[in-house]
Structure 1
Amino acid sequence: MTISKGEVEQFFERYAQAFRDGLEGTLAEEFFRSLFSTQYIAAGPKGVMAGDNDHTFVERISKGYEHYRQIGNKAVTVSGIEMHSIDETHCLVHVGWSSEFEKDGRRIDVPFTNVYLLEQNDGMLKVFGWITGDEVQLLKDNGLL
């Protein structure tokens, strides 16, 4: 069965909730890991990497959430989804995000887009890859670093 846009939207609402939980320091490891395939690929300005969805993966992600908290990230929401089917069990998704920061008593909204590769196995969607832009530069451009 082909992946529907509704399924993708529901998936990214769960993903956004996991991100918010991470920002609050209440990330549930099993819930978070359930969003990802057993292995993944990631690409960004510094290159491409591959990894396993294991305890070490969650530790790295948790450190990332700690960094976001330190620079004032308060919330993240999905602002848009553009889905492209690849075949019946894979799709590419551009996800627009809106990240809310607080710095020096003022709110700073930072929009960005990431690209995700999803697979559907046993009726469950999972991220097996993602591509990000230059997050460090984006945060610098918004006075957060």
Structure 2
Amino acid sequence: MRSFFTDQFLSAGPDSIETGTNDSEFAQTLNDAYSFYRKIGTREMHIRNLMVTPIDRFHDMVKVYYRADYSPEGKPLKSIDFDVTYFMQITDAGPKVFGFVSGDEMQAYRDAGLVS
């Protein structure tokens, strides 16, 4: 995952805007997130659609529409639709994420009964 990000990046959610560094701490954050998603019963994630908006010849804005399927132990399958907007820098090595904006993920999990 880290290879998809620039050395420095920005993340924005409903409660905060943060800067990040693509380093070992970020790698640990990704590992912790993966563990959390497994714990709440994540089974699959699909891209339903995406829209690319060119900003200039070096940058794009990409809105990705996801559907994630969750099946916690002993509970029926639930699907949650959500989207994330990524800001991409076009480099010689390919596109890299330099920022992203997401909605209230935890509220969506509370609403679906996946977390309390």
TM range (shorter): over 0.9
User: Which SS does the other structure have where 1:34 is aligned?
Assistant: helix
Corresponding position of 2:95: 125
After TM superposition, list the pairs within 5 Å mapping 1:59-138 onto structure 2.
59-103=28-72, 104-138=74-108
Q: Is there any run of 5+ residues in structure 1 with no aligned partner, and where?
A: 1-31
Give the deviation of 1:123 after TM superposition: 4.4
Q: Is there any run of 5+ residues in structure 2 with no aligned partner, and where?
A: none
- Name the amino acid aligned to 1:50: T
Give CA deviations for 1:41-100 in whole Å, capped at 9, x if unaligned: 000012100011011101011101101111101111111101110000101111000111
User: Which SS does the other structure have where 2:109 is aligned?
Assistant: helix
Query: How many Å separate the matches in 1 of 2:38 and 2:93?
Result: 34
- Name the amino acid aligned to 1:130: F
Corresponding position of 1:143: 113
The structure carrying a bigger strand percent of its residues is 2
Query: How many Å separate the matches in 1 of 2:15 and 2:75?
Result: 32
- Name the amino acid aligned to 2:80: V
Give the deviation of 1:105 after TM superposition: 3.5
Percent of matched pairs sharing the same residue: 31
Query: How many Å separate the matches in 1 of 2:31 and 2:15?
Result: 20
Corresponding position of 1:56: 25
User: Which SS does the other structure have where 2:103 is aligned?
Assistant: coil
TM-score calculated relative to the size of structure 1:
0.76
Structure 1 runs (4+) greater than 2 angstroms displaced: none
Corresponding position of 1:36: 5
